[in-house]
């Protein structure tokens, strides 16, 4: 049995930068309490590693960023790679907090494109995931941004404006995106479109689409990670017989590889390299 790593996979530049910023903030301010508003990146191992360094992650599902911010009255707050609304930044400043913004440059780029179309009088259709922090930060920019997660939401959408701009969350699946964008073009033929899947997401998805001989694909990542979930979707849609989402090597059931000739391992952009290497090492040891 061959066990191979899909290239590229794992950490992207936005995640590397966010983790570096968080660690540096604590290192440079050893006497200050350092908080992160939500998971810095969607991986519980990263959250745990930061916690060991004394960095506190505030992340209760169902609790808004504003409510999380209410729990802090001193110290430094870090905004995550997914982006943050201007209102939350203002609130942090009004509370007398110092903030560090770890928003990924690719997320900022999409936000800036959206802002420029809004300035020109467009309504914006934004294809993204409900309640995802990246989508929430974008939606906070203007009421003229309409979140669409699926065909049903698109059917229900009514925009009374001839000028419509269509774009997307950076970590969506290119297959879903193409299908949904086609439907938007049918509904609003004059729509102006810019696809904004980030390079890290698209290259990891394409690497899976290019696999020719894969019997089993392990996708290492956190269930909260959207780009990890999309790698699973792409693998399944690409016809790979078994696509398995695992958090680390302990989730592997070796029965899943029975009869397989080629086993591949990939990982979401927020998955630490150590976890990927442990999965590969474990599989190779068990099948030696
Ligand atoms: S997945 Fe893309 S948008 Fe998200 S942090 Fe990484 S590079 Fe940035």
Q: What is the 104 CA–ligand 1 centroid distance (Å)?
A: 6
**β 164-168/34-37 pair status:** unpaired
Residue 97 sits in the same domain as residue 155:
no
Residue 51 sits in the same domain as residue 121:
no
Burial annotation 139-162 (CB, 10 A radius, 16+ → b, else e): bbbeebbbbbbeeeebeebebeee
The single residue listed with the structure tokens 């925009």 is: 159
Compute the distance between CA of residue 248 and CA of residue 220 in angstroms, rounded to an integer.
Answer: 6
Q: What is the 202 CA–ligand 1 centroid distance (Å)?
A: 10
Looking from the CA of residue 15, the nearest atom of ligand 1 is: 5
Q: How far is CA 214 from CA 41, 101, 266, 277, in A?
A: 29, 40, 12, 19
Query: What is the extent of the structural domain holding 113?
Result: 106-193
Residue 239 sits in the same domain as residue 218:
yes
Compute the distance between CA of residue 279 and CA of residue 12 in angstroms, rounded to an integer.
Answer: 19
Residue 17 sits in the same domain as residue 99:
yes
pLDDT tens across the length of the chain (288 residues)? 999 999 999 999 999 999 999 999 999 999 999 999 999 999 999 999 999 999 999 998 788 999 999 999 999 999 999 999 999 999 999 999 999 999 999 999 999 999 999 999 999 999 999 999 999 999 999 999 999 999 999 999 999 999 999 999 999 999 999 999 999 999 999 999 999 999 999 999 999 999 999 999 999 999 999 999 999 999 999 999 999 999 999 999 999 999 999 999 999 999 999 999 999 999 999 987
| Residue 269 in contact with ligand 1 by CB distance below 6 A | yes
List active site positions: 134
Residue 23 sits in the same domain as residue 7:
no
Residue 43 sits in the same domain as residue 110:
no
Q: How far is CA 135 from CA 14, 120, 127, 128, 140, in A?
A: 16, 21, 9, 6, 9
pTM score: 0.93
Structurally, how many domains does the chain consist of?
Answer: 3
Looking at 75, 103, 131, the residue that finishes a domain is 103
Residue 22 sits in the same domain as residue 87:
yes
Looking at 79, 103, 127, the residue that finishes a domain is 103
- Of all protein residues, whose CA lies closest to atom 7 belonging to ligand 1? 14
Looking at 103, 125, 154, the residue that finishes a domain is 103
Residue 33 sits in the same domain as residue 70:
yes
| Residue 14 in contact with ligand 1 by CB distance below 6 A | yes
Which of 107, 112, 195 most suits a substitution to test ligand 1, by most atoms within 8 Å of the C-beta? 107
């Amino acid at each position: 049995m061959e066990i191979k790593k899909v290239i590229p996979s794992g950490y992207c530049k936005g995640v590397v930068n966010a983790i570096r910023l968080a660690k540096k903030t604590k290192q440079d301010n050893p006497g200050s309490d350092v908080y992160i508003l939500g998971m810095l990146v969607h991986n519980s191992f990263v959250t745990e590693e930061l916690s060991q360094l004394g960095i506190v992650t505030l992340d209760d599902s169902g609790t808004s960023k504003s409510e999380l911010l209410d729990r802090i009255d001193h110290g430094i707050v870090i905004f995550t790679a997914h982006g943050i609304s201007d209102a939350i930044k203002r609130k942090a400043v009004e509370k007398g907090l110092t903030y560090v913004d770890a928003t990924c440059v690719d997320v900022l780029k999409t936000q800036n494109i959206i802002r420029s179309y809004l300035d020109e009088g467009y309504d914006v259709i934004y294809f993204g995931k409900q309640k995802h922090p990246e989508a929430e930060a974008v939606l906070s920019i203007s009421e003229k941004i309409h979140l669409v997660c699926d065909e049903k939401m698109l059917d229900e959408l009514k925009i009374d404006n001839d000028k419509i701009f269509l774009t997307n969350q950076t970590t969506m699946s290119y297959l879903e995106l193409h299908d949904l964008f086609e439907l938007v073009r049918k509904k609003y033929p004059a729509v102006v479109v810019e696809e904004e899947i980030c390079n890290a997401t698209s290259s990891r998805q394409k690497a899976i689409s290019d696999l020719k001989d894969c019997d089993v694909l392990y996708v290492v990542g956190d269930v909260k990670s959207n780009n990890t979930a999309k790698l699973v979707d792409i693998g399944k849609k690409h016809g790979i017989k078994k696509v398995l989402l695992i958090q680390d090597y302990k989730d592997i059931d070796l029965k899943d590889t029975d009869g397989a000739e080629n086993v591949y391992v990939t990982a979401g952009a927020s998955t630490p390299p150590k976890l990927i290497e442990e999965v590969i090492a474990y599989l190779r040891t068990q099948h030696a």
